[in-house]
Structure 1
């Protein structure tokens, strides 16, 4: 699993919700699929004291390219990494795996009020 800490900066005093979205997240399937899984990722959070620095988030996401991991564990790992990095008021992650074999999978973690 990626170990590099994500960077942060002080949050502005206003109430806000920050959203990150990407369809460029890939990770290796841990089963006998023989290729990478492709994901669409949405991260929404309401900062407390800190905001997440987007470059370090991108680096963290890129580090999963060669990692064998399920969608469930990937969503959980991202949630915990962001929670540890910035301790937000609220955090929500939606991870949609690209259709494979006629099946779509979506994993949601966190405060669904941010949906």
Structure 2
């Protein structure tokens, strides 16, 4: 755990990420392009204990006949708030959870993290190609 002047910063483990919050809604439109964006994603750097805040872009085609219910997505993102997870891994977790929920291979998740220490990090996984 990170320390500063005798204080210990604590955070939750990845087991606190609530993929079970995600809900899908039936949708018939496998060729419709869907793009969801929010700048309200946050988790905790497990190295420093500092918050990692990101803009998330989710792009997908609902090949599996489902779309993600947006309020459930918001609660899912909130479950990351006190979790210690590296930026790259957070992106991978979101991608894998949504890919499984939506049953589509045409999905891409991109996270652009706020600059910290002069470093801008963008992580991206997935593809929209057939």
TM-score for both structures, normalised by structure 2: 0.80
Aligned to 2:117: 101
Does residue 19 of structure 1 match 2:28?
Answer: no
Structure 1 stretches of 4+ with a deviation exceeding 2 A read 12-15
- State the Cα deviation string for residues 61-84 of structure 1 (Å, max 9, x = none): 010000000111100000010011
Q: What is the correspondence of 1:1-115 to structure 2 with a 5 Å cutoff?
A: 1=14, 2-5=17-20, 6-13=22-29, 15-32=31-48, 34-48=49-63, 49-111=65-127
Q: Which runs of 5+ in 2 are unaligned?
A: 1-13
Decide which structure has the larger Cα Rg and report it: 2
Cα distance change of structure 1 residues 104 and 10 upon mapping to structure 2, 3 Å threshold: same
Q: Which runs of 5+ in 1 are unaligned?
A: none
Give the root-mean-square deviation of aligned CA atoms.
Answer: 1.4
Q: How many residues align?
A: 112
